[in-house]
Amino acid sequence: MSNSESLERVPVALSPRDRFVEFLQSKGMRVTQQRLSLVDHVFSRHEHFDADQLIEQLPPSGDPNHVSRPTVYRTLNEFVDAGLLRRFNLNGRAVYEHDYGYPQHDHFHCTECNKLLEFTSPELLQMRDDLGKQHQFRVTGHRLIISGICQECTQAKRRSRSRMNMI
């Protein structure tokens, strides 16, 4: 999964690592080297990913820095509980994205290549808040994924169709 232009980061008081350590300590959980290396790896880049994609990026079995599959799944859930990552379902898979240190945003999802494109819209936020007031509902957030076909896939389809016309 990839995304378009990266969103501007929002200033935060703690680094993702420090925030995670604080979370683990508040829950009486151990701060292990595997957990720390996972938080460092996940926050070294801004991308959407699923657990399998993350596991592929990690050192292989036998490497001293290897992290087991069960540990990856458990730690991803801990990241969500700590407010570091947001999880959403896309085509039946759990997909993760950074939540901590990033602004409220929404997504376009290309149903051809599975790309996720992030965008922010002040007009959408205003409409959301206006609708909340109209229905006497205190809005605390939202998640919007608009499905369709990205420009690259649309152009690729056009190119393949025009080649077919040449035959």
Give me the tens of pLDDT residue by residue for the chain, a chain 167 residues long: 544 456 778 889 999 999 999 999 999 999 999 999 999 999 999 899 999 999 999 999 888 889 999 999 999 999 999 999 999 999 889 999 999 998 889 999 999 999 999 999 999 999 999 999 999 999 998 999 999 999 999 998 887 766 555 55
The radius of gyration of the chain from alpha carbons, rounded to an integer in Å, stands at 19
d(CA 45, CA 16): 12
Architecture per CATH, domain 11-101, reads as Orthogonal Bundle (1.10)
Taking the model in full, what pTM does it have? 0.83
Q: Is 110 annotated as a binding residue?
A: yes
Pick the closest to residue 145 from 113, 103, 116 (CA basis). Answer: 116
Q: What is the predicted pLDDT for the residue at 10? A: 87
Question: How many CB atoms within 10 Å of residue 76?
Answer: 21
Q: Is 106 annotated as a binding residue?
A: yes
Residue spans of the domains in the chain: they are 11-101, 103-167
Q: Is 150 annotated as a binding residue?
A: yes
Please give the CATH number for the structural domain made up of 103-167. 3.30.1490.190
Determine whether 75 is exposed, middle or buried from the number of CB atoms within 10 Å of its CB (0-12, 13-18, 19+): buried
